[in-house]
Every structure is written in structure tokens, then in C-alpha cells.
Structure 1
């Protein structure tokens, strides 16, 4: 949380080693493309968020079959693009597939350059090796950066903290440092396969921007009846996060995010302990974090073709 500043409605933090100043709350792109959110409302949510000081925009090439990026692209017209730090995620693991998806995202978002592009859903131990293969996605990301299509490179995942650590190790072996890493950070994560305990300290050490997501697990954590939405957001804001990305599908939920920032005070150890005690029992088996314990949230498992082909040299090793 170093370098925290604020305006009347929003807190701003430095994004890891990039020196970029971004809003502590990020607007999640998935929700603005949902079927129950019409296009006009989606655009209004984005613009209202920006008008009130949210600068970090989250999205993904695969959200709602491209609808989320298309809507955000429309919302960023008429001067709004210059007011935000724009991020999207790419599923392709091969260089060819990743390059194609980057170009499609640029087209949908109606921009020449995306501030941050992240390798999406690094959830399997083989993902880092596919990404960093000679013909892997990171080669496409680096070329896109050289061509001015993107500025920073990160990765995301929601399955297991050890896979995140593996991604950092494989990157280091290739002499590469990420600008950001995105992961679930919430009041239950601390009790079960914890990204907070295992990954966050390593990111802080390497000065990689910490992007928190699933602070309420798409509302699933709230079904445990142990914590309130504001407590969930306060907990995530209290971690060394640069940004807490939260899904917003209505102006009321947008208001809730601003209320969380307005009422946020750094929590002491006792306050953290007390909040975690409320969720300990419900969190113990990962029941309310199904993205860790099931494949329901794994869009690349349901659509393996998004990943592209396995590296050529591996295919050549296979018996005929």
C-alpha cells in the first residue's frame, strides 16, 4: 500500500514497479457484459465510475464472447480513454493464438494501445512452460509491446498459489519480470490454499503490482452469512494490493464500492484477526471459493481451443 494518495472519493496507489498511479478499486469487465446488463447501462456504469475517480479498467478477451470489451470500447470514446489505465487478459498460450487475440482485443476496445495485457487463467502447472516456450504467448506479448500495442505484461490465475509461484519461477528462468499478478484475495482465502500468505509476500519482495480479485467471489462468499460486502472490500484494500478489482453490474453496486473506499481505514492486527475469525469455519474447505475447488470458473477448461496449439517441438516428441 506504499504511495497511497486520495481524492475526495477514491484512493490511488502505485502499481508495483511501473510507477503508474491507479485507483485502489478497479472496475471488473465481466459484469458490464452480462445479459442482465444492457449496453446502455454497461456504458453508464463505466463512465460514472471514471467520472468519480476509478481509473483501473479490467477486462478479458473471452468475457461474454467479446461483449465486455466491445462495451468498454464504446464507453471509452469521447475523451474517456485518456482518463483510465486499461487492462485486458489473453487466453492464448501459443504465440500465434496470443498475437491474434491481442489484435482482436485492440479492435474491440477501439484503442491503439492497451496499458496492461495479462496471461489469463494460469491455473495448470504446464501453463508457464507453454507461455514461455520459444513459440509461446509471451513472445507475442513482448513483440506487441515493442510494436506499441501494449505497455505492461502481467498474469492472472485463481486456482492454486503454488501455480502462481511456479509462473514467477519460470519467468525468472527466462530473465523476465512481470509488472503485475492478479489473484483471489478475500476474507476466506487466508484460511485455504492462500494466495495472500504464499504469493503476496513474494510479489511485494519483487515489487510486482498486486491485483486482487474475487473479494466476494461473485457474491458466493456473502452466501456464507459471515461478512458484509463492505467488510470484504475493506479486507482486500487492507492487503498490499495496488488494485482491488470488483464486479459492478448496477449503479447501486458502484455506490457500494465508493462507500467502501470512503469508510476504509487501515486495519490493525487485532481487527484483521477478528474479521478472519468470523470466516474461519466457513472457509476451511474452500466451499465458498469454488474457483479453487471446482472447474466452474475455468473458462479455458471449457474452451481448450482458446489456448492454441501445443509447442511444435513437443508434438515432434510424440510417437507417431
Structure 2
């Protein structure tokens, strides 16, 4: 898909109208957030007594913290297990209730550490999400059972089909039974909601949604990159977000700083990146925290957020436009560096990972 030059003066009418609609919806979302919290966002300070604002997760009836904790960063190998647990529990104690994870993160270690952190009463305080790579019925079912064991729970709130990044992924997930396995698990009470995630191209997300419609299925959530660079290049914000809002699907924003790569552009800082994603009609912005300092930053961003004016948005997008147009700061779109299921294709049709299948 070619670069989306939506920042040009020659904006297509369809994109322009879509941007206006998104602005209206974002303002409504922010007004709803303020009403739910019973206070103006401008009154927020870094006082530890302040709760992190919450937003509605699509049509699920659940409210989630506007910032979520990413599972990959919280369990990077350089962290001791005790420090991972400290980061996760501190996030929960300070108001984050949305936890992200994935079956394949660090060969399952991310889920195991999160499971340890959720003991002693923490599990019931959070909305727990993980992702599965399996596209077939057998692989999705097997991976789910592994995730349940590692996370030390008999029910996961949200399970998402991970890395829908190939044009063939949508049909395969439905035709080969991966979605069917998740529906059966939901009926059995092992999961509550079903979603999907991907980071490559908005056209693939749209195809996944269209395929779901063909099979008579509706996702509860969709996770995708939403950041200041995405607004200019292969934009999930312009092409996918309006569809999710029309369908009432919960919007999970990720890669607000592009794993820090966006910050290397020198034109924007971390708080601006996170605030931009929060200013969109997202249910939650998932943020990777591999230290207490980065966790502090994410919480500060949530507590100091207030709706951005149209002028502020225009200024931020104008500042980031030139850096964004080639996609070099969104390497997850333009390279295979972060495509875990491309380098480990067997994850798509087996319930085994390295530690479970020594022959692989």
C-alpha cells in the first residue's frame, strides 16, 4: 500500500471528512471520560491519590484504564523476575487495570511472570489480555491452555489473534478453525472477549473485519498502531479507526512511541506521543514499561492528559509530517524486524514453542 500523504493540502475529500468525524468522536470520547471521572482533566496532577481515568471498551460494558501495561517490556530478559513483578504490581496499585501479554513473548516467560505478579489478590483487580498466534483450531486451543496455565487463571478477559500481518491471515484464521476455537473457549467460560491485533498495513485490518462480517462474526476489540507518525503514513487512524467506531469495537492503541524509535526523530517527546494517542477515541493506549521510570512516565501521561485543541493537533502533525512520510520511524510497518510469526512460522499451526518442543 502506498504512503498516505494525508497531511498534504490536496487532501482527498473522503479522508478530510473522515478526519472531521474522528475529531468529533474524539471530543465526545474525552467529554465522556471527564464526565465519568467527575472532574476536568485539566485538574489532574501527579498526586498519587488520583485514579487513572477509565474509558469504555467498545460495547463490552467494561471500563479500562486509558493507559495499559505492555507485557513484552515488563518481562525483558535483562529484568530480574522480582523486578518484573514489582513493575506489574506497582502499575496495578497505581490505577492501571489493563494488562497486555502474548503467548509467544519471551518464549512464554512474559505470561509466567505476569501470572506470578497476579497472585495474592491482584488477578481480580485487572482486565487481563493475551494474544495467540495459532490460526488452526488445534493450535489456538493448545496455545490458550498454555496461556491459562502460565497466567495462573481459569479465565482470561480478552484473547486476541496475534499479528494479523499477511494478506492470507484473515481467511486462514476463520477457515482453519482458530476463531472457532476461541468461540468455543468463550462458551466454556475460559475467555470473555475476542479480538485481533496487527501492525503492518491498515488494508489487512480492513480485510480481517470484512472476513469476520462474511462469517457472521464481530470482534470485541482491535489493536493497532496509533501514533503521530501513523497519521501520515499507511494510516490506521484514517482508514481503520472510523470503521471500528462505527461497529462499536473497542480500540486498543499501541506503539505510541514505536518502541522508542519515534523519539529518535527528535521532533516529538514521549509525553506528546502518548497524549496524541490518548486524544484519539481509543479505549486504552498500551505502553511498554521495562523500568519503574518508564512506568512513572506512562502514569504521568495519563494523569496529566487533557483533550488537545484542534490547533495543538495541527501543530503536532505539522511538526512530525516530514519525518513520517517514508515510514522509517515505523519499522514495524516497513520491515520484518518485529514480525515474530514470520521468523517463527510454525507458531501459526502448532501449540508448541521452543521450551515445549525441543525438536523445533
> Per the shorter chain, which TM-score range?
over 0.9
Structure 1 length-normalised TM: 0.95
| Structure 1 residue 259: Cα displacement | 1.1
1:235 and 1:50 mapped to 2: Cα distance?
A: 23
Instruction: Find 2:110's aligned residue among 48, 68, 74.
Output: 68
Q: Which residue of 1 aligns with 2:172?
A: 130
Q: Which residue of 2 aligns with 1:195?
A: 236
1:117 and 1:79 mapped to 2: Cα distance?
A: 22
SS at match of 2:231: helix
CA displacement, residues 239-264 of structure 1 (integer Å, 9 cap, x when unaligned): 00000000001111111011111221
Q: Which residue of 1 aligns with 2:64?
A: 22
CA displacement, residues 20-61 of structure 1 (integer Å, 9 cap, x when unaligned): 011000000001111111110100011011011100000000
Contact 1:12 1:21 in 2 (8 A): yes
SS at match of 1:132: helix
Instruction: Find 2:74's aligned residue among 26, 32, 40.
Output: 32
2:163 and 2:310 mapped to 1: Cα distance?
A: 32
Are positions 1:281 and 2:325 aligned together?
no
| Structure 1 residue 175: Cα displacement | 0.6
Q: Which residue of 1 aligns with 2:354?
A: none
2:309 and 2:58 mapped to 1: Cα distance?
A: 23
Instruction: Find 2:274's aligned residue among 217, 233, 258.
Output: 233
Q: Which residue of 1 aligns with 2:223?
A: 182
1:186 and 1:164 mapped to 2: Cα distance?
A: 17
Instruction: Find 1:169's aligned residue among 196, 201, 210.
Output: 210
2:296 and 2:126 mapped to 1: Cα distance?
A: 19
Highest RCO, 1 vs 2 (Cα 8 Å, sep ≥ 6):
2
1:36 and 1:276 mapped to 2: Cα distance?
A: 35
Compute the RMSD of aligned alpha carbons. 1.0
Contact 1:57 1:84 in 2 (8 A): yes
> Greater CA deviation, 262-271 or 48-57?
262-271
Are positions 1:220 and 2:256 aligned together?
no
2:330 and 2:124 mapped to 1: Cα distance?
A: 36
| Structure 1 residue 125: Cα displacement | 1.1
SS at match of 1:125: coil
Count of residues paired in the alignment: 308
1:119 and 1:221 mapped to 2: Cα distance?
A: 26
Unpaired runs of 5+ in structure 2? 1-28, 38-48, 351-360
1:256 and 1:32 mapped to 2: Cα distance?
A: 14
Structure 2 length-normalised TM: 0.84
Q: Which residue of 2 aligns with 1:316?
A: none
Are positions 1:208 and 2:230 aligned together?
no
